[in-house]
Structure 1
Amino acid sequence: MLVGALPTILIVDDSPENLTVLSELLQLNYRVRAATSGEKALRIATTPPWPDLILLDVMMPGMDGYEVFTRLRREPLTREIPVIFVTAMDSADAELRGLDVGAVDYIAKPIVPPILLARVRTQLELKQARDWLKNQNAYLETELARRMQENLVVQDVSIHALAHLAEIRDPETGNHLRRTQRYVRALAQQLQRHTQFADFLTDRVIDQLTKSAPLHDIGKVGIPDSILLKPGKLTPAEWEVMKTHAKLGSDAIEQAERDADRVVEFLVLAKDIAHYHHEKWDGSGYPEGRSGSDIPIAARLMALADVFDALISPRVYKPPMPFADALEIIVAGRGKHFDPDVVDAFLTVFEEFRSIAERYAEPLAE
């Protein structure tokens, strides 16, 4: 019902005399529509102006009031319209049946005008209140969704801002964050079909993985420039310092977790990725020398994504490697550096990796 508009009442009765009496009684305060059969009532109820309330006779030839009511409830457009049964059957059993099937009220004939008007007014006020609550709930749901989306945008921007701290310290990384983020999503979506990974890699977890992936090298902000930006090969001592970036990153994320007043899902995954993405399937990685399934799944995905991107990206000490050569190296690392199942997933989505790499390629130097 539109604000300021008269409520619409549909009267259904096979007796023209009864329709006339009810119409004259109601039309001073309401817009009245009338039907002399159940079939006509169903047609009218689904055409504008839609009724706010239906007064429905029970005893009608052909389709009786109960059948009309049942059909009204089947249709999405009419199922929420309140119905008052109006009938000459004034027994308690008849009234109970009408209320049991879902009618909001039951009025026995002969009609007592003040009683009818009072009950009609009550039901219309109740409907108006229900409609108001429904609109409020819809508004609140929309507003909640909008604010949640704003929070997600702020969260994503904050994550990338933090990740770019490491990127700024190492200018060669460029679009590395964008590429590895998308590689991880491609691998996770492929492995989602694998029975071994399906329980963990839900759609929600994949979204969280994608969100947290850019933080994998956040610990590099703690590595001295003399080591991080060194153009040549690192000495063994320098390499030991460089390796500490994994724990530095996970420690920073763990501190963020402690500062939060609740568990933040993507930080849990981000910590695993930062800490363990340099571990190797055969146990020869760092910082803990974990092996096999002891390495968190999130870190296993990032390990492959990170290495692939390093191979195909230019560095001051090397040119970019052709995709075919990078593919061979990843395959050679199956069961050694990388989880065999992750490598198999990589082979399946290799063309997607290539597409991501080309789309987010480093800009050509002028």
Structure 2
Amino acid sequence: MTMINRIDLEAALSKPNLLLIDDSKEDINLLTMWLYRDHQISVAADVENALSMLNEADIPKPDLILLNATSADIEIDQLSQQLNKDHTTKHAPVILIVHDNDKEEENFREDSNAVDYITKPFHPKQVLARVRTHVTLHKQNRQLLKRLKQHTKDLHNSKIQVIQHLHRAGKHKDNESHAHVIRMSLISKLLAEYTEQDQAWVERIFHATPMHDVGKIGVPDSILHKTENLTPDEVRIMQEHTLFGAQILESDNDPLLLMASVIALTHHEKWDGSGYPNGLQTDQIPLEGRIVALADALDTLMSPSHEEATWTEQHIVNYLMEQKGQHFDPNLTDIAIEQLPQIIEILELYPDHEDNNQQYSFFKSTR
């Protein structure tokens, strides 16, 4: 390929893509004659043909659509549905081609959500100006949307980093292993996926779970690391770590921090109301708190360092059935029993003796 041909090809590829839907050869010839220099033009005789073209991978997705407004309403609806299915065409502007002073078509324009219209007989300057305006606006909107998505992603990652650093600070006070936090997060995510929550909620609980005990920062070392039985007053102080954690993570409008705060506050509540700090019961306990409570207990019970390390899978099932409706949400308990093989697999993948830095690299890799 010569340099001139390559430049011509690059210029052609950089042109905006127009999809012209019109059954009038005269209209097509006029519009193509005015627009071809600055645009890549695809032509469809009707909406049905256009729908087929939109489904073809080798045909460029339109940056703007010129549509003869005489098409049947049902065909227009089908076109709109197809455009909205694909994120690359969802915001593509539609300019309707209408007859001048056609009141019926004006009413249709309002119903169609088209961004603009051009009238017949055509005026070249009007056609060029309106197409150029909406192609430019569409390009700007795409750039703004791209920046917004990147900004949202960066902000989300920053919040996750804050949560990880807070947890790291808490590690100076608590002896929880990094692997325990990873396992808890994965078990929480697994349970959440079976509660019919949306995927964004599931991802939030995965990232919020590591902060469940951040409030232990506020508990004196003499109590936190005491090897003998705690006195009643010391038990009360220890239980306040749920309140400290909720206060540290409190947020009015950030979903991730709000969930982390709720988890910190409620993960020691019990289904029968015998938990702390507020003695909540049944579905008074937020779902995320119920999930993390079960995930924490499961990992602790099944950890090799636990005093019941010799428990078999059946021992675990028996314990869960015993605590079903007492400590744990009955529905979540059933899910945990059904998914016990996967939970055991999580424990085997992330044993306690792994490198202490694994938690941070693990959560970084899942963003």
Q: CA–CA distance in 2 between the matches of 1:327 and 1:122?
A: 74
Task: Indicate whether 1:235 and 2:229 are aligned.
Answer: yes
The match for 1:296 is 286
Asked if the contact 2:242/2:277 (under 8 Å) is kept, the reply is no
Relative to structure 1, the CA distance from residue 264 to residue 243 in structure 2 (aligned partners, 3 Å threshold; closer, same or farther) is farther
The match for 1:333 is 323
The match for 1:219 is 215
Q: CA–CA distance in 1 between the matches of 2:342 and 2:261?
A: 27
What is the SS of the residue equivalent to 1:286?
A: coil
Q: CA–CA distance in 2 between the matches of 1:344 and 1:52?
A: 52
**TM-score of the superposed pair, with normalisation by structure 2:** 0.65
Q: Match for 1:210: what amino acid?
A: F
* Consecutive unaligned residues in structure 2, runs of 5 or more: 1-10, 54-58, 84-88, 110-116, 356-367
What is the SS of the residue equivalent to 2:120?
A: strand
Q: Shift of the alpha carbon at 1:155?
A: 0.7
Q: Shift of the alpha carbon at 1:54?
A: 8.2
Relative to structure 1, the CA distance from residue 364 to residue 100 in structure 2 (aligned partners, 3 Å threshold; closer, same or farther) is closer
Q: CA–CA distance in 2 between the matches of 1:31 and 1:271?
A: 55
Task: Indicate whether 1:132 and 2:136 are aligned.
Answer: yes
Q: Match for 2:229: what amino acid?
A: T
The match for 1:181 is 185
Instruction: List per-residue Cα deviations over 1:63-112 (Å, max 9, x = no partner).
Output: xx9579x9899766999466587xxxxxx88x6677777761222xxxxx
Q: Shift of the alpha carbon at 1:305?
A: 1.0
Q: Match for 2:218: what amino acid?
A: G
Task: Indicate whether 1:343 and 2:320 are aligned.
Answer: no
The match for 2:237 is 244
Q: Shift of the alpha carbon at 1:146?
A: 0.7
Q: CA–CA distance in 1 between the matches of 2:16 and 2:141?
A: 24
Relative to structure 1, the CA distance from residue 170 to residue 362 in structure 2 (aligned partners, 3 Å threshold; closer, same or farther) is same
Relative to structure 1, the CA distance from residue 204 to residue 247 in structure 2 (aligned partners, 3 Å threshold; closer, same or farther) is farther
Instruction: List per-residue Cα deviations over 1:199-250 (Å, max 9, x = no partner).
Output: xx444443333332211111222233344334x4x3231x753553443343
Q: Shift of the alpha carbon at 1:347?
A: 1.2
Q: CA–CA distance in 2 between the matches of 1:270 and 1:186?
A: 17
Q: Match for 2:246: what amino acid?
A: I
Relative to structure 1, the CA distance from residue 165 to residue 30 in structure 2 (aligned partners, 3 Å threshold; closer, same or farther) is closer
Asked if the contact 1:312/1:323 (under 8 Å) is kept, the reply is no
The match for 1:59 is none
Alignment of 1:137-156 (within 5 A): 137-156=141-160
* Consecutive unaligned residues in structure 1, runs of 5 or more: 57-64, 86-91, 108-115, 193-200
Moved more, 96-105 or 290-299: 96-105
The match for 2:358 is none
Relative to structure 1, the CA distance from residue 249 to residue 84 in structure 2 (aligned partners, 3 Å threshold; closer, same or farther) is same
What is the SS of the residue equivalent to 1:104?
A: strand
Asked if the contact 1:175/1:360 (under 8 Å) is kept, the reply is yes
Q: Shift of the alpha carbon at 1:173?
A: 2.1
What is the SS of the residue equivalent to 1:190?
A: coil
Q: Shift of the alpha carbon at 1:349?
A: 1.8
Asked if the contact 2:191/2:336 (under 8 Å) is kept, the reply is yes
Calculate the aligned-residue CA RMSD, in Å: 4.6
Q: CA–CA distance in 2 between the matches of 1:219 and 1:31?
A: 62
The match for 1:121 is 125
Q: Match for 1:174: what amino acid?
A: H
Q: Shift of the alpha carbon at 1:141?
A: 0.7
Q: Shift of the alpha carbon at 1:345?
A: 1.7
Asked if the contact 1:304/1:330 (under 8 Å) is kept, the reply is no
Alignment of 1:1-366 (within 5 A): 80=94, 83=97, 104-107=118-121, 119-192=123-196, 201-230=197-226, 232=227, 234-237=228-231, 240-241=233-234, 244-254=237-247, 256-257=249-250, 262-315=252-305, 318=307, 320-322=309-311, 324=313, 325-363=315-353
Q: CA–CA distance in 1 between the matches of 2:166 and 2:120?
A: 66
Q: CA–CA distance in 1 between the matches of 2:279 and 2:77?
A: 65
Q: Shift of the alpha carbon at 1:148?
A: 0.3
Taking every aligned residue pair, what percent have the same amino acid on both sides? 22
What is the SS of the residue equivalent to 2:324?
A: coil
Relative to structure 1, the CA distance from residue 226 to residue 319 in structure 2 (aligned partners, 3 Å threshold; closer, same or farther) is farther
Relative to structure 1, the CA distance from residue 136 to residue 298 in structure 2 (aligned partners, 3 Å threshold; closer, same or farther) is same
Asked if the contact 2:185/2:210 (under 8 Å) is kept, the reply is yes
**TM-score of the superposed pair, with normalisation by structure 1:** 0.66
